[in-house]
């Protein structure tokens, strides 16, 4: 059981302790079904969380969880993942607004610097009924701050009244943190996967999967470790040849459904017209055998896929030219190959700063096995011996999953939302 017990609005830790574990059971956390009333609707759009303590304490990895669809889902880290320091019993911490609470239970997890009793208050701030509301018959006056995920139609005016649009962009938003561990990753995605974190990588060597699925990658070339792109830290593949993090014949997809993703960017343009971001593939006769997501010199985002012997090949153009300019902030992406239907469907989603920028889909008729010979899984200039696409890319972290867990028309969206890539 979680050591945190929520009421409708207040949480109390009953005894001093040094650890608030992540919830795992259906009865963990506390019931917040009282929020789903006519007052708060069935989805609380915004809530805030306040933390106080009986004595000075530092809380790390402070995370909020919600119970939804019979599983615990990771909502996000408080304080942007940074430590929360409470100086004494007279002080406390209040979070930024937490968005889109939809579950029936809430829980908090954290590590404490000492055995201290902690009290947490979770309060609904704003909500809207799930049914549509029509304000066309009367003026809408908002005395405070208006928070909007999306507005239909243009906004006009000036800084003394309404504001010029558009408003639904990633501007001013922050990217979600890399999952702290596999417990957090699985809670967010419901995926059993191999995944790798390069954000703290300081030198060459082997990189072991942090996930429940094994998969060791190796560094090659003169990588730029600790490279900052758009305020995010990762690894930069500068050379057109030789810069890669990869493994040969690893996690081959075969005829399975697949899903992969992570945080990547286009840091520099060293040579060539196309640059690998992530994939599991080789080049055969100028065609891709396997699957890869890449960026073109013109800034377009493209997924290539082809079966063994490149009998069937497909190209999905995601974002148009000018989207991923050199040096721009990185993107969060999800690519899915869903084989649950009559023909496989390739889907892609790309985001920045917690905001969905676009989606694309393509039916891959008669696509066979993606497993060929000597394919390489990884990032950078793959294949290493004779790269299909050049370097210039950047990566902070990525994952690879296969099987029925990757199937369904909404699976990619749910994973993206769970990781905080999009709302």
Q: What is the pLDDT of residues 63-105, one digit of tens each?
A: 888 888 888 888 888 888 889 999 998 888 888 767 677 788 8
Q: Which pLDDT belongs to residue 9? A: 46
Domain 5-127 has CATH 2.20.25: no
Q: Which pLDDT belongs to residue 349? A: 97
Q: Which pLDDT belongs to residue 145? A: 56
Where in the chain are all domains bearing CATH 2.60.120.200?
A: 182-418
Tokens for 326? 């050199």
Q: Please name the fold of domain 182-418.
A: Jelly Rolls (2.60.120)
**Beta carbons within 10 angstroms of residue 273's beta carbon:** 10
141-151 per-position pLDDT tens digit: 555 555 555 55
- Confirm if 244 and 383 have CB atoms less than 8 A apart: no
Using omega within 30 degrees of 0 as the cis cutoff, is the peptide bond preceding 327 cis? Answer: no
Q: Which pLDDT belongs to residue 135? A: 45
DSSP string computed for 246-294: EEES-S--TTS-EEEEEEEEE----SSSEEEEEEEEEEETTEEEEEEEE
The contacts of residue 210 (CB under 8 Å, 6+ apart) are 179, 181, 182, 185, 195, 196, 197
Cβ-count burial of 131 within 10 angstroms (0-12 exposed, 13-18 middle, 19+ buried)?
Answer: exposed
Ranges of residues in the chain whose predicted pLDDT is under 70: 1-15, 35-46, 97, 99, 125-172
- Collapse the DSSP code of 144 into the 3-class scheme (helix H, G, I; strand E, B; otherwise coil) and give the result: coil
Q: Which pLDDT belongs to residue 163? A: 44
DSSP string computed for 60-86: EEEEEEEEETTEEEEEEEGGGGS-EEE
């Amino acid at each position: 059981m979680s050591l945190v017990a929520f009421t409708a609005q207040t949480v109390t830790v009953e005894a001093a302790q040094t650890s608030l574990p992540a919830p795992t059971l259906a009865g963990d956390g506390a019931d917040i079904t009282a929020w789903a009333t006519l007052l708060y609707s069935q989805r609380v759009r915004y809530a805030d969380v306040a933390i106080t303590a009986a004595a000075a304490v530092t809380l790390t990895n402070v995370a909020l969880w919600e119970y939804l669809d019979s599983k615990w889902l990771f909502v996000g880290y408080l304080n942007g993942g940074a430590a929360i320091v409470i100086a004494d019993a007279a002080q406390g911490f209040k979070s930024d607004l937490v968005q889109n609470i939809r579950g029936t239970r809430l829980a908090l997890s954290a590590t404490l610097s000492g055995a201290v009793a902690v009290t947490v208050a979770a309060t609904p701030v704003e909500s809207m009924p799930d049914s549509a509301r029509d304000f066309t018959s009367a003026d809408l006056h908002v005395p405070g701050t208006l928070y909007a995920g999306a507005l239909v139609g243009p906004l006009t005016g000036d800084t003394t009244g309404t504001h010029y649009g558009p408003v639904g962009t990633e501007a001013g938003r922050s990217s979600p943190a890399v999952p702290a561990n596999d417990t957090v990753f699985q809670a967010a995605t419901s995926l059993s996967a191999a995944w790798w974190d390069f954000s703290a990588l300081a030198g060459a060597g082997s990189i072991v999967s942090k996930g429940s699925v094994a998969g060791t990658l190796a560094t090659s070339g003169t990588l730029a470790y600790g490279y900052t792109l758009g305020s995010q830290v990762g690894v930069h593949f500068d050379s057109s040849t030789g810069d890669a993090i990869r493994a040969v014949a690893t996690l081959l997809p075969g005829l399975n459904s697949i899903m992969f993703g992570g945080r990547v960017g286009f840091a520099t343009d060293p040579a060539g017209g196309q640059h690998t971001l992530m994939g599991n593939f080789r080049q055969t006769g100028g065609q891709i055998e396997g699957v890869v997501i890449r960026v073109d010199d013109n800034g377009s985002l493209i997924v290539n896929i082809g079966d063994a012997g490149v009998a069937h090949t497909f190209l999905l153009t995601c974002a148009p030219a000018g989207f991923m300019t050199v040096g721009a902030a990185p993107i969060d992406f999800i690519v899915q190959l869903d084989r649950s239907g009559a023909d496989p469907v390739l889907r892609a989603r790309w985001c920045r700063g917690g905001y969905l920028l676009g989606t694309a889909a393509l039916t891959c008729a008669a696509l066979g096995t993606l497993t060929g010979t000597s394919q390489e899984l990884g990032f950078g200039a793959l294949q290493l011996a004779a790269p299909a696409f050049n370097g210039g890319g950047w990566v902070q972290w990525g994952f690879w999953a296969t099987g029925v867990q990757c199937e369904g028309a909404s699976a990619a969206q749910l994973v993206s939302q769970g990781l905080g890539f999009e709302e």
